[in-house]
């Protein structure tokens, strides 16, 4: 993990100090997208070969859906409460 962070930080600092422009910046952007898509494809292959993951996918999907809806509902409730509290203080 330390190696990954060091490589990330090195790229961050080099990118900040070199300030790529024009064609070089476009090339880096295009290569970044290509690498991200290749990594996502490889991750999909890896997960698709995992029988345990595939067999539990419906349950994982329902759990994920429940967590997502809980987050949305919780955010809406907190926003509503914050709105009510700020309206009462403004009056």
62 and 32 fall within a common domain: no
Express each pLDDT in 29-79 by its tens digit: 899 999 999 999 999 999 889 898 889 888 988 999 999 999 999 999 999
pLDDT score of 25: 81
User: Is residue 70 a part of any domain in this protein?
Assistant: yes
In angstroms, the CA 62 to CA 64 distance is 5
Beta-carbon contacts of residue 28 (< 8 Å; ≥ 6 apart): 20
Confidence label for 91 from pLDDT (cuts 50, 70 and 90): low
User: Is residue 3 a part of any domain in this protein?
Assistant: no
47 and 67 fall within a common domain: no
- In the chain, the number of structural domains is 2
Residue 33, both tokens: 């997208």
Per the structure, the complete domain to which residue 65 belongs is given by: 57-91
66 and 89 fall within a common domain: yes
pLDDT at 90 over 70: no
């Amino acid at each position: 993990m330390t190696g990954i962070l060091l490589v990330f930080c090195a790229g961050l600092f080099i990118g900040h100090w070199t300030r790529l422009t024009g064609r070089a910046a476009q090339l880096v952007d295009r290569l970044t997208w290509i690498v991200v898509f290749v990594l996502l494809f490889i991750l999909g292959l890896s997960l698709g070969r995992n029988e345990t993951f595939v067999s539990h996918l419906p349950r994982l999907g329902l759990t994920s859906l429940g967590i997502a809806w809980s987050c949305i509902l919780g955010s809406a409730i907190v926003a509503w409460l914050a709105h009510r509290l700020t309206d009462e203080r403004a009056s």
